[in-house]
Amino acid sequence: MKLEHVVSIDAPRSRVWAGLMDLPAAARCVPGARDIAADGDVVRGTLEVRVGPVRLSLAGSVIVEQRDDIAGTARLRADAADQRIGGALRAFVDLAVTGDGPTQLRVSTDVAILGRIGELGQPLIARQADKVLAGFADCLRKTVAAT
Amino acid sequence: MRPFEYLEPETLDEALALLAEDPDDTLVLAGGTSLVILMKQELVRPARVIGLRKLAQLRAIRSGDAGLTIGALATHGSLARASDVNAFSPALAATFAAVATVRIREQATVGGNIVHADPSQDPPVTLLALDATAVAMSKARARRIPFDELFVDVFETSLEPDELLLRVELPALPVGARATYKKFLPNTLDDYATVAVAAVVATDADGRCTHARIALGGAGPVPLRAHDAERSLVGRRLDDRSITEAAALAAAATDPIADLRGSARYKRAMAGVWTERALREIA
Amino acid sequence: MSDHSIRFRLNGAVVERVVPAERLLLDLLRSDLGKTGTKDGCSIGVCGLCTVQVDGAPMSACLLLATQIDGAAITTVEGLASADGPSELQEAFIAEGGFQCGICTSGQLVAAAALLEARPDATAAEVSDWMMGNLCRCTGYYGIARAIASARPR
C-alpha cells in the first residue's frame, strides 16, 4: 500500500536534511522505537506498535539506498518482522525536502505487508502510519531546533 | 487459537485481584463475540483470560428518578427488550436492537462493546448523546469516566489494563426531551454503519431549543460529539435554517477513516445528511 | 493451558466433559461429540451456519468457548425432530422449498425454531430482522420465509 505524508518543519533545510540523514538519531525519533543501534550503514532496532489489544513488536533494519544531498532526496528501505502475532513488512520510503525555513518534508511510503499483520486492514494500518509520522515530525522539530 | 489459562471468578473482588496480578497479559471475556475472533485470528495471544459470566450483579438494568443504570454484562438483546430502557429512551432501546444480528445481540454485552471501542459500533453513539458516564473499578480504586473522555482512539479507551468496566450511568433526560438514532446502511442490514447519528433535543414552550446533543459514529477514530452543531441549535427554533446549519457543523466535526464503507469525503457528507434527517425527525 | 469440567444439556441429554480453555463450542459439538449437523462457515459469526440455541437464544457456536455454555441448555438441529419424525418447521421447509444445497439449512432451522418459540406472533418484518443473519446463497430466501410463515402457530 502507498502512503503519502507532508509535514512542515520550521527550520533551515540544511538542518532538517542533516537531522534526517543521521539515521540512528532519526530512527530514535520514531514513536515506539527501541534498541536502535548502527551496524555499519544499517540501522537496526525494534518498533513497538499497539492497536487496542493488538500488540506488534517489529524487529528490523533500515538502510539508505539512494541519497542526493543537493536535490534533498533519499530512498530508504526498511525490513521488519513481528514475533508476537506473526508477519512482516518491507517498506521503501522516499524522502524529499523542499523550501527552506520552513522546510517541507515529503514522505512517500510504499509498504508491502505480509502475514497476520494484514488482518488489521489497510484503514487501520494507514492510520497507525499517520500517528507514527506525526510523532516522528514532532520529535524531528525538537531535534532540529536543538542543533 | 493459542492455549491460555481460563479463570472464572465468583466475585468482583476476586476478578479485580486476578486482573491486578498480570494486567498486561490478561484479557477479560464478557460475551466474547469480538475477543474470540481476535484470539482465533491470533491477533491477540493472552496468557490468561478472565471470564466474567458468574458476576450476575453486572447484568442488572435499573431505572429511577436519577436516570438509568446499565450493568456492563447486560446483553444487547436484553437491553433492547428491557421495559426500563424503552421507558427511559425508546431511541436507546432501538439502538441496541440495531446492533448486528440477533445472534450477536444475544451473546454480546454492552460493556464488551464499549471497551472494544470500535468506532463503528452503535451503542456508544447513543450513550454519548445521552451524557453517559462509565463506572470502572480496579483493585485499588473506583473511577467515573464521562463518555466524552472514554474513547481515545480506534480500539482504545482511557481504561487502565487493571480496570474493569462495571456499569454505565445515564442521567435523567430534560423534561420533554426527544431522541433518535439513525444508522446509515448502504450495504447490508447486518453491516456496521457507514455513519450513524444519535441526536437528543428539548425545546421550551416557545419551541426554542434548550438542550441539544449530536453524536456521530463511524465518523472518526472514536464516537464524536458535534459540539459546535449542538451550540448552534440552543436558543433557536428547530426550523429548516437552524437544522441545515447544525448538519453542516456536524459534518465539519468529523474526521472519518476511509474504508470499504466509504471514502472519508463520502462519510463526512453522509454525516451531514443523516444529522439533518435525525434533527428533522425530532424537531 | 487449563482444562475445565463442563456440564450442560445437549438436546435434552446431560453431557459432562473436560475441555481445554480454548475449545470452541462448535468444535466440541462436531469433533468431540460427533454432532455434525451444526456447520462451520465463515468462522466469524456472520453467516449463521453454526447457529445453535443457548437457553433458547440463537448464538454462533463459532464464537462461543465451550466453557461459556457450562450449565446451559443447548439445542442443535439434531434436537428439532422428535421420535415421531421431523418437526412442523422442518416439514414446512420441505414443503416450501426452504433449501437447495442445504449447507445453511441447519442454521436456518435452529434460528427459526428459536424465533417461533420466543416470538410466535412475530410480524413478517420481525421475522426478516431475526433471520437476516442466516445467509443462504441458493434460495433467494422466499422459500425460507414461506416455510417460517406456514409453521407459525395460528
Contact (CB<8Å) C64/B32: yes
Does residue B249 register a pLDDT over 90? yes
List Cα–Cα distances, C145 to B136, B189, B204, C54, in angstroms: 44, 17, 47, 23
Contact (CB<8Å) A116/B44: no
Contact (CB<8Å) B155/A120: no
CA C33 to chain centre: 16
Nearest to C63 among B5, B33, B49 (CB): B33
Question: What is the mean predicted confidence (pLDDT) over B239-267?
Answer: 96
Residues 6+ apart with CB under 8 A from B187: B194, B261
Q: Which of A54, A117, A128, A132 to mutate to test the interface with B (most CBs of B within 10 A)?
A: A54
List Cα–Cα distances, B74 to A10, B56, B231, C130, in angstroms: 52, 9, 33, 20
In this predicted structure, what is the pLDDT of residue A83? 84
Nearest residue to B107 (alpha-carbon basis) of C52, C76, C3: C52
B178 φ, ψ to 5°?
Answer: -125, 140
> Exposed (0-12), middle (13-18) or buried (19+): which is C113, by Cβ within 10 Å?
buried
Q: Give C46's pLDDT tier (boundaries 50, 70, 90).
A: very high
3-class SS at C50? coil
The residue type found at B170 is L
Domain edges within chain A: 2-146
Q: Give C154's pLDDT tier (boundaries 50, 70, 90).
A: low
- Residue C130 grid cell: 431475526
* Better pLDDT: C16 or B190: C16
From C66's Cα to the closest Cα of chain B, the distance in A is: 11
Nearest to B37 among C51, C63, C133 (CB): C63
Nearest to B44 among A54, A86, A123 (CB): A54
3-class SS at C57? strand
Evaluate the CA torsion angle B57, B58, B63, B64 in order and state its sign. Answer: positive
Topology annotation, domain A2-146: Alpha-D-Glucose-1,6-Bisphosphate; Chain A, domain 4 (3.30.530)
Distance CA B225, CA A84 (A): 36
- Residue A15 grid cell: 538542518
Q: How many CA atoms lie within 13 A of B16 on its CB side?
A: 15
Q: Give C39's pLDDT tier (boundaries 50, 70, 90).
A: very high
In this predicted structure, what is the pLDDT of residue B256? 94
- Predicted TM-score (pTM) of the model is 0.93
Nearest to B257 among A53, A54, A127 (CB): A127
- Residue B125 grid cell: 453513539
Distance CA B75, CA C33 (A): 29
Q: What is the 3-state secondary structure (H, E, C) of chain B?
A: CCCCEEECCCCHHHHHHHHHHCHHHEEEECCCCCHHHHHHCCCCCCCEEEECCCCHHHHCEEEECCEEEEECCCEHHHHHHCHHHHHHCHHHHHHHHCCCCHHHHHHCEHHHHHHHCCCCCCHHHHHHHCCCEEEEECCCCEEEEEHHHCEEECCEECCCCCCEEEEEEEECCCCCCEEEEEEECCCCCCCCCCEEEEEEEEECCCCEEEEEEEEEECCCCCCEECHHHHHHHCCCECCHHHHHHHHHHHHHCCCCCCECCECHHHHHHHHHHHHHHHHHHHC
Q: What is the CA radius of gyration of chain B?
A: 19
Q: Give A120's pLDDT tier (boundaries 50, 70, 90).
A: confident
In this predicted structure, what is the pLDDT of residue C44? 96
pLDDT cut 90: percent of chain B above it = 96
Residues 6+ apart with CB under 8 A from A64: A21, A23, A41, A74, A75, A76
Which residue segments constitute the domains of chain B, with CATH numbers given? 5-51 (3.30.43.10), 56-171 (3.30.465.10), 179-282 (3.30.390.50)
Nearest to B77 among C2, C57, C65 (CB): C57
pLDDT in tens, B106-155: 999 999 999 999 999 999 999 999 999 999 999 999 999 999 999 999 99
Distance CA A28, CA C114 (A): 58
Cα-Cα end-to-end distance for chain C: 52
3-class SS at C32? helix
CATH of C88-151, one of 3.40.50.300, 1.10.150.120, 3.40.1180.10, 1.10.10.10: 1.10.150.120
Nearest residue to A135 (alpha-carbon basis) of A32, A43, A64, A17: A32
What size, in residues, is chain B? 283
* Chain A residue at shortest CA distance from B25: A53
List Cα–Cα distances, B120 to B135, B159, C1, C109, in angstroms: 22, 19, 34, 31
Domain edges within chain C: 3-79, 88-151
Does residue B57 register a pLDDT over 80? yes
Q: How many CA atoms lie within 13 A of B210 on its CB side?
A: 12
> Exposed (0-12), middle (13-18) or buried (19+): which is A71, by Cβ within 10 Å?
exposed
Distance CA B225, CA C70 (A): 41
- Residue B205 grid cell: 414552550
pLDDT in tens, C51-98: 999 999 999 999 999 999 999 999 999 999 999 999 999 999 999 999
The residues pairing with B157 across neighbouring beta strands, listed in sequence order, are: B151
The CA-based diameter of chain A, rounded to the nearest angstrom, is 44
Topology annotation, domain C3-79: Ubiquitin-like (UB roll) (3.10.20)
Contact (CB<8Å) B4/C63: no
* Chain B residue at shortest CA distance from A127: B257
From A38's Cα to the closest Cα of chain B, the distance in A is: 31
Does residue A147 register a pLDDT over 80? no
Cα-Cα end-to-end distance for chain A: 35
Q: Give A144's pLDDT tier (boundaries 50, 70, 90).
A: confident
Average pLDDT across chain A, whole number: 93
* Better pLDDT: B210 or A127: B210
List Cα–Cα distances, A25 to A33, A37, A46, A143, B74, in angstroms: 11, 10, 14, 9, 50
Q: Which residues of B178-195 are buried (b: 16+ CB within 10 A; e: fewer)?
A: bbbbbbbeeeeebbbbbb
* Chain A residue at shortest CA distance from B263: A123
In this predicted structure, what is the pLDDT of residue B1? 92
Contact (CB<8Å) C133/B106: no
> Taking a C-beta distance cutoff of 8 angstroms, is the pair A89, A115 a contact?
no
How many B/C residue pairs have CB atoms within 8 Å? 84
Contacts of A among chains (3+ CB pairs under 8 A): B
CB atoms within 10 A of CB B13: 11
> Taking a C-beta distance cutoff of 8 angstroms, is the pair C45, C67 a contact?
no
Q: Which residues of C135-144 are buried (b: 16+ CB within 10 A; e: fewer)?
A: bbeebebebb
> Taking a C-beta distance cutoff of 8 angstroms, is the pair B126, B96 a contact?
no
Average pLDDT across chain C, whole number: 96
Distance CA B39, CA B32 (A): 10
Residues 6+ apart with CB under 8 A from A93: A75, A76, A77, A78, A107, A108, A109
> Which residue, chain included where needed, has cell 435452529?
C110
Residues 6+ apart with CB under 8 A from C102: none
Contact (CB<8Å) A54/B116: no
Q: From the CB coordinates, do chains B and C have 3 or more pairs under 8 Å? A: yes
- Residue C48 grid cell: 449463521
In this predicted structure, what is the pLDDT of residue B150? 98
Does residue B225 register a pLDDT over 80? yes
In this predicted structure, what is the pLDDT of residue B79? 98
Contacts of C among chains (3+ CB pairs under 8 A): B
pLDDT in tens, B86-113: 999 999 999 999 999 999 999 999 999 9
Nearest residue to B222 (alpha-carbon basis) of B101, B127, B136: B127
Q: Give B39's pLDDT tier (boundaries 50, 70, 90).
A: very high
